[in-house]
Chain A
Amino acid sequence: MIPMCVTPLPLEQLHDYFAGELARDEEELLEEHVFGCESCVRTFEKAAALAGGLRSLVPPVISHEKLEALQRAGENIVLTQADPGVPAVAHFSPGVSLLVHVLRGDLRTAERVHFELLRRDGGVMMTLEDVVADRERGEVLIVCQRHYEHAFSDAYSFRIVGEWGGSREVIGDYFIEHIWR
């Protein structure tokens, strides 16, 4: 029988630990508690599994830092440069782990940048607000994963929208044909 813990670790503190947000001394105290307390192991594992799962997800929009980290980790990534209105093709060949679409546009003065995924009829399938954008390079990096073939089978085009003083304006529409095999 596992003895009850007198001072169980709060789940929030464990989440902070796995997010790397605790001070060094707090982190060490938490580790000492976990290695000495059978009762808190389950909560520790629960927080670890969620943080690990979130880290293994690749966000739909990433920074150049993240792109480089994925490349360093050995991911086989195909980059597709796309300019507004100019058709492009992205080929998800066998062995490719991710497609990254480099959507280019003039983002220099935009206060916020938003991303939309559109259907052929112009309806919005998905909106991601205030996405990571490289304003200097004028690029937004959109990640496409293999299972999106089914998850977003109606998708037709991408749109980047800029925001200035609360009003929004389309920066560009991008047409990338996906070849999934």
Chain B
Amino acid sequence: MSDASLDDSELVRLVVEPGEARRTAELALCERYGMRVRRYAERHLRNAQSAADLTQLVLLSVIEALREGRIADPERLGAFVLSTCRHLVWDENRAVTRQTRLRETIGAEATAAEPTTASIDLLRLEQCVRELPRREQRVVLLTYGEEWSSERIAAELGTTAGNVRVLRHRALARLTDCMEDER
């Protein structure tokens, strides 16, 4: 089991100690930052498998740096994790054995280091999108389905990019409510 009550500087301190304390601290680190790293990677790589790979590599790199005492300011562990993400994000095609390496590094419970990200009911979401007002629906489909910028959507809809952003914010608020209504 990991320990979520440890603060960042305690995690950094415990990782250089041998034995169970180290393992607990490393799992806590994976649990604390794994989801953020994963979402960062999804945002920048736009590919689920590459994002999963990168998450493993970032966590591995951070743990190795911690073990070697290479983190100058333990209070700023989050900043260190982020800078590791930034350094590695361009390199999503590196060696394919990251999960194996992470398992070798922190032990058999490495699967617990897989970040827990919220899942979403896609059929319900599809229904909620269908229920959006026409213009908001169009903005959502073009933003996320087609990956069009606000400027391009604005040109298509004959409006301004600012208005597209307003429509998108409204739509996302409606979708959030619609998804919560289901619960």
Question: What is the interface of chain A, defined by CB distance below 8 A to chain B?
Answer: 12, 15-21, 31-32, 34-38, 41, 44-46, 48-59, 61-63, 65-66, 69, 126, 129-130, 132, 147
CA distance A2 to B146 in the complex (A): 38
Binary contact track B95-109/A, C-beta < 8 Å → 1, others 0: 000000000000000
Q: Assess A32 versus B35: contact at CB under 8 Å? Given A50-B175, A50-B176, A55-B144.
A: no
Decide if A129 touches B118 in the complex (CB within 8 Å): no
- Interface residue B1 (Cβ < 8 Å from any Cβ of A): no
Query: What's the least CB distance linking B147 to chain A, in Å?
Result: 8
Secondary structure type dominating chain A contacts? helix
Which of A18, A32, A56 is close to B43, meaning CB atoms less than 8 Å apart?
A: A18
Q: Assess A15 versus B168: contact at CB under 8 Å? Given A57-B125, A57-B129, A59-B146.
A: yes
Which of A15, A53, A59, A62 is close to B122, meaning CB atoms less than 8 Å apart?
A: A53
**Range for the number of chain B residues in contact with chain A:** 35 or more
Query: What's the least CB distance linking B168 to chain A, in Å?
Result: 7
Decide if A62 touches B165 in the complex (CB within 8 Å): no
Give the chain A neighbours of B29 by CB distance below 8 A. Answer: none
A-B interface, 5 closest residue pairs, ranked by CB to CB distance from nearest? A54-B144, A59-B145, A53-B120, A35-B78, A49-B118
Q: Assess A53 versus B145: contact at CB under 8 Å? Given A31-B82, A130-B138.
A: no
Decide if B76 touches A36 in the complex (CB within 8 Å): yes
Q: Could you jot down 12 A-B contacts, CB within 8 Å?
A: A12-B169, A15-B169, A31-B40, A48-B39, A48-B43, A48-B118, A52-B42, A57-B145, A59-B145, A59-B146, A130-B157, A147-B123
CA distance A59 to B143 in the complex (A): 11
- Interface residue B150 (Cβ < 8 Å from any Cβ of A): yes
- Interface residue B93 (Cβ < 8 Å from any Cβ of A): no
Query: What's the least CB distance linking A62 to chain B, in Å?
Result: 7
CA distance A103 to B171 in the complex (A): 29
Within 8 A of A (CB), among B159-180: 165, 168-169, 172, 175-176, 179
CA distance A63 to B152 in the complex (A): 14
Give the chain A neighbours of B140 by CB distance below 8 A. Answer: 54
Residue of B39, B78, B118, B165 ringed by the most chain A CB atoms within 10 A: B39
Decide if A45 touches B117 in the complex (CB within 8 Å): yes
Give the chain B neighbours of A49 by CB distance below 8 A. Answer: 117-120
CA distance A34 to B90 in the complex (A): 20
Decide if A54 touches B36 in the complex (CB within 8 Å): no
Give the chain A neighbours of B172 by CB distance below 8 A. Answer: 15, 50
Give the chain A neighbours of B112 by CB distance below 8 A. Answer: none
Decide if A41 touches B141 in the complex (CB within 8 Å): no
CA distance A31 to B120 in the complex (A): 23
Residue of B125, B140, B169, B172 ringed by the most chain A CB atoms within 10 A: B172
Decide if A44 touches B39 in the complex (CB within 8 Å): yes
Which of B78, B120, B122, B146 is close to A65, meaning CB atoms less than 8 Å apart?
A: B146
Give the chain B neighbours of A32 by CB distance below 8 A. Answer: 79, 82
Decide if B39 touches A19 in the complex (CB within 8 Å): no
- Interface residue B81 (Cβ < 8 Å from any Cβ of A): yes
- Interface residue B126 (Cβ < 8 Å from any Cβ of A): yes
Residue of B138, B144, B145, B179 ringed by the most chain A CB atoms within 10 A: B145
Decide if B146 touches A35 in the complex (CB within 8 Å): no
Query: What's the least CB distance linking B116 to chain A, in Å?
Result: 9
Query: What's the least CB distance linking A176 to chain B, in Å?
Result: 21
Q: Assess A36 versus B78: contact at CB under 8 Å? Given A15-B168, A45-B35, A51-B144.
A: yes
